[in-house]
Amino acid sequence: MPVILQQEIHPEKIDVEGAHGTFKANVIGEGQGWKSHTLRLFRLEPGGYTPRHRHAWEHVNYVISGKGTLRLGEEIHEISAGDFAFVPPDSEHQFKNPYDQQLEFICIVPASAAS
């Protein structure tokens, strides 16, 4: 089983409309032998956010460090280190970091959605 060391992970800035201060790295997926899913790492700088969007696949999230908010539909949930979240398919959602420390979380998606 491959081991990915933290210092080997280099998230790249997400440069899409509606995102700010957001970085992503695909950490474990097909290249490491996990053909069905991809584990991604997201980092949101203080004041950062992902686009408000929806897509056809679900994803599971785990907050590694920091705190922020997850909008699911019209509900806003506070999230912090140690919390889990499930985003159902076709649910409008957005992660935000309105705080003064970095928010870091894992996002697991089906392999077909991992671009």
Write the DSSP string, the chain: -----GGG---EE--STT-EEEEEEEEESGGGT--SEEEEEEEEEEEEEPPPB--SS-EEEEEEESEEEEEETTEEEEEETT-EEEE-TT--EEEE--SSS-EEEEEEEEGGG--
Whether residue 1 lies inside any domain: the answer is: no
Whether residue 14 lies inside any domain: the answer is: no
Whether residue 4 lies inside any domain: the answer is: no
In this structure, how many other beta carbons lie within 10 angstroms of the beta carbon of residue 42?
A: 21
Q: Would you state the pLDDT for residue 112?
A: 86
Whether residue 81 lies inside any domain: the answer is: yes
Q: Would you state the pLDDT for residue 115?
A: 67
* Ordered per-residue pLDDT tens for the chain, 115 residues: 589 999 999 999 999 999 999 999 999 999 899 999 999 999 999 999 999 999 999 999 999 999 999 999 999 999 999 999 999 999 999 999 999 999 999 999 999 887 6
Whether residue 77 lies inside any domain: the answer is: yes
Q: Would you state the pLDDT for residue 61?
A: 98
Range of the domain at 109: 30-113
CATH number at residue 108: 2.60.120.10
Whether residue 100 lies inside any domain: the answer is: yes
Whether residue 23 lies inside any domain: the answer is: no
Domain count, the chain: 1
